[in-house]
Amino acid sequence: MGRTSTPKPHPLAPSPRRGEGERTEKSSRSSPLSALRRGGQGVRTAFTRKLLAWWARAARDLPWRRTRDPYRVLVSEFMLQQTQVSRVAEYYPRFLERFPDLGSLARAPARAVREAWDGLGYYARARNLHALAKSVAERGVAGKGVTGKGVAALPDDPEELIKLPGIGPYTAGAVASFAYEKPVAAVDTNVRRVLSRVFFGERQRVSRERMTRQRTIPPRLIWSIATALVPKDGRRAWKFNQAIMELGALICVARKPRCPQCPVRPVCRTGKARRTDARKTRRTDA
């Protein structure tokens, strides 16, 4: 009788720290990922259905969600790193008016790019975006799906995108999904928080003494869960990735999550636990 193999980690997930792989393998039978793979189709379906239904009625109308242009998606992703959406919404159209495509950005002097970015902060992002544009323009053909030699275009493969300046695992997945509608995961801070709470529970609700002994959730495990959840259809994957990020930004926020308003609370470990705690508190007060 063959042994069950450990799930292959997502290719864009960060490499595990020393010893992390052994811990993950030993606990794989009881992990949320194992549960999803063994027979969690119902959980996946319920989570996705509730999430997308909420997204359809609650999604914000943001300019970068109205396009599939890879360059415009890329600019928005660079700007949104550690910057509020309202601030990006102000700078995004002005930057695109000045640099409407990858080629114009690649040809621009560094000073002009810095001036267009001025006020957004974290100027390394502008330098990396500029370096990326020049790198792609110099290559001419920058990956799969590019037709016509000498055309400055972004790859549609996350594993090719991640090789470009300033692009990490999340941005690679986001550009592939939001520009090319590839059925791939894109795990940012919001997505990581949502998946951690839904499938692992509220790990912060322990004493300080226990907190020091509690192991963090390996990033590769979060990526694997995200990959298992992303729909295989590209358009549906686009909506799913946008929706789970929106949930983390509006409902499953960092400090005071709005669990009573959460559409996936019925399948969320944290949401269920908070509901139970609230009932116990009401009984005690009574």
Q: Which are the catalytic amino acids? A: 77
Rounded to whole angstroms, what are the CA distances from 258 to 46, 86, 91, 191, 282? 20, 21, 29, 16, 19
Other CB atoms within a 10 A radius of the CB of residue 11 amount to 13
Is residue 225 within 8 Å of 199, Cβ to Cβ? yes
| Number of C-beta neighbours around residue 254 at 10 A | 10
Looking at residue 63, the DSSP 8-state letter turns out to be: G
The burial of 169, by beta-carbon neighbours within 10 Å (0-12 exposed, 13-18 middle, 19 or more buried), is given as buried
Residues 144 and 160 sit within 8 Å (Cβ to Cβ): yes
